[in-house]
Chains A and B, each alone.
Chain A
Amino acid sequence: MQVFKAFRKIVMKKFISVFIIYTALFIGLSIFFTSSGGTQVEDAFELSEVRVSVINEDNTALANGLENYINGIARPVELENDEESMKDALFFRQTEFIVTIPNGFQESFHSSQNQSITTMSVPDSANSEYAKTLIDRYLNTAKLYATAFPEISFDEIHEKVLADISTEVHVSFVDRIATSHSSELSTYFNFLSYILIAMFISMVGRIMLIFNNKEIKMRNYCAPISINYYNYQLIFGNLSLAFIVWLIFVAFAFVINTGSLNETGSYLYIVNSFVLAILCLSISFLVATFATKNSIDPIGNCISLGLSFLGGSFVPQAFLSDTLQTVGTFNPIFWYVKVNDTIGEITSISRSTLEPIIYGILVQLAFAVAFLAVALVVIKQRRYAHQ
């Protein structure tokens, strides 16, 4: 087990830092992603919560009533009342709709020349259309009451308006079963593909570079152990490294999303990510055959970022351009993410639902075998070339 021991020593000495860096990066980013994560699908209808900021300069009963109404139905975002912070917040979509109720708004409400509420939004966005509908609805109703009963106070009008607005149309869903949680897990596991591939190329790739070093290799070949035994130990070392890393990140997935382990798709995520670990391992094997000490970082960066970006690890696959979705067939990460997304939508385990998942996993395995085969051929070729 001498080779394996050396392997372990090198890993402990040189690569533990790489591991820590990637883990920290990954944990940070995945927490960020999950906290800002996608909308959850629930059984009951929920009105979309547009992020709205109300800047109330009027502070009258009507203005406050409107503000309360908007804050109740939308997600309020506090903003400072200066143009720059408003504009910045809008650009970064921290808020999607800024309403300024001008001073004297209530005063002029009765007159025909009423002051307008000024709004700022991303031009032509659906969110702003929606928010405008909400505001107009409240004010139109209030106006009705105000015209009909000029004598009553705006506080009373607010009460009446709220009572009326609670009238709702019945909403029902087309028959389907809703799932929960899986979208977060899905995001996590999609993102995992980048981390695993970047980390494996960085760690395994470098370790293989050390062992692939011509002089060291010659020395090893001169030693009285068979080449096969030598290679088996190396493969065993890499596999155990991959296994440990994979285990940590999978365990972490369920630490973040506590309680999601016993859901339908969870075990499928684990299986899929294990296949991914093997896939990444064989990719890094291949990379190690042609990279050099200097070029492994750039190559690793390109491959990991490229495959993940194009495979949809960061951005949902639906947002990728049509060409990319076609080209993605040749990208193993694309298949991995696709399987994840399918798992996310799965409602029950049956033959028909499992079929696309198994197919996707098989495709990934085929990729892994293919990469490994190419790597082995290259290594063999090289050995003959040296002799």
Chain B
Amino acid sequence: MSFHIFKYTFKQLIKDRMALFWMLCFPLILATLFNLAFSNLMSTESFEQVKIALSTDHDLPEDLESAMKESNIFNLSYTTETEAKELLANREISGFIKNTDELELIIYDSGLNQSIAKVFLDNHVQISTTIYNIIDGNPQLIEMGFLENLSFTESYTETVPVSESMNMIVVYYFALLAMTCLFSSIAGCYAISLVQANQSAVAARVNVAPTKKLKAFLSMISATICFQFISAMIAITYITQILKVDFGDRILHIVVLCLFGCFTGTMFGALFGLLVKLKSEVKEMLLSNICMVLCFLSGLMVLQMKYIIQEKAPIIAYINPANLITDGLYALYYYDTFHRYFLNLTLLGSMGIAFCAIIILVLRRQKYASI
């Protein structure tokens, strides 16, 4: 390690406005956009009482009313039919029930709330049919007191607690963090171009100086990782503190994962820069596109993508560093155990180390066939 090179590489990154934008500002901007766009998205999922109006034009069966009240599923109101229609048109209620000749549910369009109401009513109507059928088949049952012991509302289900952390939207932020970490690959690619004499004039200078190439490279890489890590930390702070997105309380683990992510991302970029023989702008463009594709596959744009890949092509999920980061963060957030987190961390780390090993091997070749 040469602190001198480290210092100047770091300085360069800070002064490079493009790097600053892509590595630091872009994730923050995206996070803000996510926050604005998705803030109302999850609220539609949680259960709220179904708003049902009961038409007062005709009497309703009494037991229905009491059953509806008891069930605690409905928010009932009593209105005339005309009023109810108006409420319905304004979508203030999900539907209303009237009882002209038979029970009828009037709705505006199909939906979950409407389905709940319908099934409830179906159930209510059906139970009387069932009892009629039973007594019809075995009339003695009435004398045996069968009707007194009837229960229609017994619950047969028992909920297994899954996790309170069920907010799917956080995966967007996780993928975003993965992107932030992987953007370090561009800087890694740049670092390579600064030590490979056949890639830039500056590198030729570094090569003729009495500083070991590997040492120069490692110092640059450390600065890159460091810089990227800091921007990841800023992104985390911004998302959790300012946007108030809940990442759970295992912050230290998140930090470690991000550090690994930056390391592997940088190494990936460096390896790419080392092996691909193209103009530097083309390389950087390619690299940022690859990063975006990797992030896409881990759910950055379309969240379900992550699940689909994991189910349909688990191998891709396991070799995609973006997914390893996202999945590690997800495991921390959602699971109680650390098993999956450490699996991801190990895979990510080994990938980075493998990249690093290849880089060191290639870098040892110190002369070039052509410049």
**Residues of A that sit less than 8 Å from B by CB:** 21, 29, 32, 36, 39, 41-42, 45-48, 50, 84, 87-94, 99-100, 114, 116-130, 132-137, 139-141, 143-145, 147-149, 160, 164-165, 167-174, 176, 178, 294-295, 298, 301-302, 305-306, 309-310, 314-315, 318-321, 324
Contacts and interface: CB of A to CB of B under 8 A. Distances in A.
A130 to B, nearest CB: 5
Contact of B30 (A117, A139, A160, A305): A305
Instruction: Give 3 nearest A-B pairs by CB, closest first.
Output: A116-B158, A92-B307, A126-B47
B348 to A, nearest CB: 19
Contacts of A125: 45-47
A169 B103 contact: yes
B26 A298 contact: yes
Contact of A116 (B141, B156, B307): B156
B252 interface: no
B88 interface: yes
A305 B156 contact: no
Q: Which of A92, A165, A301 has the most CB of B within 10 A?
A: A92
A41 B115 CA distance: 14
B241 interface: no
Nearest to A109: B156
B155 interface: yes
12 contacts: A45-B114, A87-B334, A88-B307, A91-B168, A117-B157, A136-B157, A141-B127, A144-B130, A148-B141, A169-B122, A173-B108, A319-B44
Contacts of B104: 169-172
B277 to A, nearest CB: 19
Contact of B168 (A21, A92, A169): A92
Nearest to A137: B123
A99 B156 CA distance: 11
Nearest to A170: B104
B166 A123 contact: yes
Interface in B116-169: 116, 118-123, 125-127, 129-131, 133-134, 137-138, 141, 146, 150-164, 166, 168
Q: Which of B111, B129, B158, B162 has the most CB of A within 10 A?
A: B162
Nearest to A310: B36
Contacts of B289: 21
A276 B246 CA distance: 37
Given A117-B156, A117-B158, A126-B113, A148 B138 contact: yes
Given A48-B115, A143-B154, A305-B30, 20 more contacts: A36-B304, A41-B109, A41-B110, A46-B110, A48-B114, A93-B304, A94-B304, A116-B158, A121-B159, A121-B162, A140-B127, A145-B130, A165-B126, A169-B125, A172-B107, A319-B38, A319-B44, A320-B39, A321-B36, A324-B37
Interface in B210-234: none
B21 A298 contact: yes
Contacts of A128: 47, 159
Contact of B150 (A144, A295, A306): A144
Q: Which of A41, A125, A130 has the most CB of B within 10 A?
A: A130
A91 B151 CA distance: 35
B37 A137 contact: no
A135 B150 CA distance: 18
Contacts of A315: 37-38, 41
Contact of B134 (A45, A144, A302): A144
B334 A91 contact: yes
Given A94-B304, A315-B38, A149 B122 contact: no
Nearest to A314: B37
Contacts of B253: none
A129 B307 contact: no
A114 B151 CA distance: 15
A309 B33 contact: yes
Contacts of B30: 305
A358 to B, nearest CB: 24
Interface string B8-40: 000000000110011000100110011011111
B306 A169 contact: no
Contacts of A92: 168, 171, 303-304, 306-307
Contact of B112 (A121, A130, A134, A135): A130
Contacts of A94: 304, 307
A303 to B, nearest CB: 11
A109 B64 CA distance: 28
A145 B38 CA distance: 48
B156 A133 contact: no
B203 interface: no
B44 A171 contact: no
A179 B47 CA distance: 28
Given A92-B304, A125-B45, A164-B133, A176 B21 contact: no
B160 A119 contact: yes
Nearest to B150: A144
Contacts of B335: 87
Interface in B21-79: 21-22, 26, 29-30, 33-34, 36-41, 44-48, 73
A305 B179 CA distance: 16
B243 interface: no
Contacts of B155: 132, 136
Given A148-B138, A164-B133, A169-B125, A47 B119 contact: yes
B106 interface: yes
A47 B118 contact: yes
